């Protein structure tokens, strides 16, 4: 069965389904929420700046907050100064994270200047960074890359080999270049090439939206784990669905009542945890989560114009409350007809 289990040294990832790090999305509340739905073997923090960490920037410290129920958990760091990255890695280990990951994929202009996918163009500097981080920590050290800067500069294979030689213990490959941004298709053929070139585990990432996509990724690349990004906020059940699909060839679809419960639970947790920017997160989540929901545009509009968190919750209650009452009563009528 694909993606049954992955071990990165002593860390057991079971099933080998990983929630991709996503800045602004995969905070502690979202991660716990995904974890509770089941089927996700590893979660990661949003990326954290090594420079911010060393300055004790409150935002960086907030990004590194996690709870025990989130284990195993990876902290993802970005930066370009080898000594600062090593120092940040030490702090991450001291905070009790199970793994540390280095971001080599972020395409944002602001980040590229000081790390992220910018480092894909400087393999000699990357080698120094790998060696310094490796020497600084004892926890497993992983990296997450894009396949290169541009179609003319695909470096995934030499980079993966160098990483392996420097003691990196797993590599997640998002099959796009930096210049591609999120356009076009992820190149799973390059993920397959990386898989054939190294002995360390390779985690496939990019454009897996359904359990069938995950099966196709495995068929095409034989990668050791699958990482899911954008599909997770619109379908947080995808991890459990993959588990069901690989076990029995089918998977369940959530009902309207499941959707209602899920959005309600997520919002309640955001408020209870006094999450900074909770209102914005609610609106963002509503816009993803209601795609594919009947009359979802109506809910999106009404949530977007809400002025505070309670109003968002009230509008969600109104929307789903009315629909569920309607379907319960039409179901009642149908039963009454059937009984005649
Ligand atoms: C809103 C957003 C934020 C992201 N933030 C990060 C990040 O902090 N670190 C990282 O390595 N990748 C980040 N990514 C990239 C994802 O982890 C993932 O590689 C990418 O979305 C491709 O996977 P997908 O097709 O499953 O979405 C982000 C992607 C999105 C859409």
Q: Which of 7-11, 116-120, 288-292 holds the top average pLDDT?
A: 7-11
Ligand 1 centroid to Cα of residue 84, in Å, is 24
Residue of 40, 106, 166, 223 with catalytic role: 106
Least confident of 62-66, 131-135, 233-237, 332-336: 332-336
175 token code pair:
């099959």
Least confident of 143-147, 220-224, 242-246, 263-267: 263-267
Q: For ligand 1, atom 23, name the residue with the nearest CA.
A: 206
**The pLDDT of residue 327:** 66
Tokens 């996918």, located at residue: 117
Among 83, 157, 78, 149, which residue's Cα sits nearest to residue 118? 149
Show Cβ contacts of residue 99 under 8 Å, excluding neighbours closer than 6 positions: 8, 11, 72, 73, 74, 75, 139, 140, 141, 142
Q: For ligand 1, atom 14, name the residue with the nearest CA.
A: 22
Is 89 near ligand 1, meaning CB less than 6 Å away? no
Distance CA 116, CA 107 (A): 7
Q: Which of 9-13, 262-266, 291-295 holds the top average pLDDT?
A: 9-13
Q: Contact, 144 vs 116, CB < 8 A?
A: no
Is 229 near ligand 1, meaning CB less than 6 Å away? yes
Tokens 């505070």, located at residue: 308
241 token code pair:
């669905």
Is 208 near ligand 1, meaning CB less than 6 Å away? yes
Query: Average pLDDT for residues 240-267, to the nearest whole number?
Result: 93
Quick one: what percent of the chain has pLDDT higher than 70? 96
Is 47 near ligand 1, meaning CB less than 6 Å away? yes
**The pLDDT of residue 104:** 97
pLDDT tens digit sequence for 274-328: 888 999 999 999 888 887 788 889 999 999 999 999 999 999 999 988 888 766 6
Query: Average pLDDT for residues 77-95, to the nearest whole number?
Result: 97
**Structure-model confidence comparison of residues 155 and 259, the more confident one:** 155
Quick one: what percent of the chain has pLDDT higher than 90? 82
Q: For ligand 1, atom 2, name the residue with the nearest CA.
A: 22
Is 45 near ligand 1, meaning CB less than 6 Å away? no
The tally of CA atoms less than 13 A away on the side-chain side of residue 97 is 28
Is 111 near ligand 1, meaning CB less than 6 Å away? no
pLDDT tens digit sequence for 19-35: 999 999 999 999 999 99
Least confident of 92-101, 109-118, 244-253, 303-312: 109-118
pTM above 0.85, yes or no: yes
Q: For ligand 1, atom 26, name the residue with the nearest CA.
A: 229
Query: Average pLDDT for residues 89-107, to the nearest whole number?
Result: 97
Q: For ligand 1, atom 10, name the residue with the nearest CA.
A: 21
Distance CA 291, CA 257 (A): 16
Mutate to test the pocket of ligand 1, among 230, 239, 277 (most ligand atoms within 8 A of CB): 230
pLDDT of 329 strictly over 70: no
Mutate to test the pocket of ligand 1, among 19, 20, 52 (most ligand atoms within 8 A of CB): 20
Q: Contact, 105 vs 116, CB < 8 A?
A: yes
194 token code pair:
């990386």
- Annotated active-site residue 106? The verdict is yes
pLDDT band at 337 (very low <50, low <70, confident <90, very high): very low
pLDDT of 269 strictly over 50: yes
pLDDT of 69 strictly over 50: yes
Domains of the chain (ranges, CATH numbers) = 6-248 (3.20.20.70), 256-338 (no CATH)
The two beta strands, 6-8 and 11-13, are antiparallel
Among 206, 274, 273, 268, which residue's Cα sits nearest to residue 285? 268
Query: Average pLDDT for residues 113-136, to the nearest whole number?
Result: 95
Positive or negative: CA dihedral 196, 197, 203, 207: negative
Atom of ligand 1 nearest to the CA of 205: 23
Q: Contact, 44 vs 34, CB < 8 A?
A: no
**The pLDDT of residue 109:** 85
**The pLDDT of residue 334:** 43
Q: For ligand 1, atom 29, name the residue with the nearest CA.
A: 22
């Amino acid at each position: 069965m694909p993606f049954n289990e992955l071990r990165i040294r002593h860390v057991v990832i079971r099933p080998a389904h990983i929630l991709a790090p996503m800045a602004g999305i995969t905070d502690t509340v979202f991660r716990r929420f995904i974890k509770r739905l089941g089927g996700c073997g590893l979660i990661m923090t949003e990326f954290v700046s090594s420079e911010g960490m060393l300055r004790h920037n409150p935002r960086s410290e907030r990004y590194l907050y996690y709870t025990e129920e989130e284990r195993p958990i990876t902290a993802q760091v970005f930066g370009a100064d080898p000594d600062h990255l090593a120092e940040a890695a030490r702090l991450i280990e001291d905070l009790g994270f199970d793994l540390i990951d280095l971001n080599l994929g972020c395409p944002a202009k602001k980040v590229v200047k000081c790390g992220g996918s910018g480092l894909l163009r400087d393999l000699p500097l990357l080698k120094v960074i790998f060696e310094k981080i490796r020497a600084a920590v004892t926890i497993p050290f992983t990296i997450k890359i894009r396949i290169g800067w541009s179609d003319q500069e695909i470096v995934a294979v030499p980079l993966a080999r160098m990483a392996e030689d420097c003691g990196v213990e797993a590599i997640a490959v998002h099959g796009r270049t930096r210049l591609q941004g999120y356009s076009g298709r992820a190149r799973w053929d390059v993920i397959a090439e990386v898989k054939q070139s190294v002995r360390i585990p390779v985690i496939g990432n990019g454009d897996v939206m359904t359990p069938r996509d995950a099966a196709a990724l495995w068929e095409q690349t034989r990668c050791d784990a699958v990482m899911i990004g954008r599909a997770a906020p619109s379908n947080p059940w995808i991890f459990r669905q993959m588990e069901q699909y690989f076990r029995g060839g089918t998977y369940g679809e959530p009902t309207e009542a499941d959707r209602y419960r899920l959005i309600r639970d997520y919002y309640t947790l955001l408020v209870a945890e006094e999450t900074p920017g909770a209102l914005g997160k609610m609106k963002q989540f509503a816009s993803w989560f209601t795609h594919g929901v009947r009359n979802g545009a109506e809910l999106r509009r009404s949530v977007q114009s809400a002025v505070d968190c309670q109003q968002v919750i009230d509008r969600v209650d109104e929307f789903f409350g009315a629909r569920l009452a309607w379907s319960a009563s039409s179901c009642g009528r149908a039963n009454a007809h059937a009984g005649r």
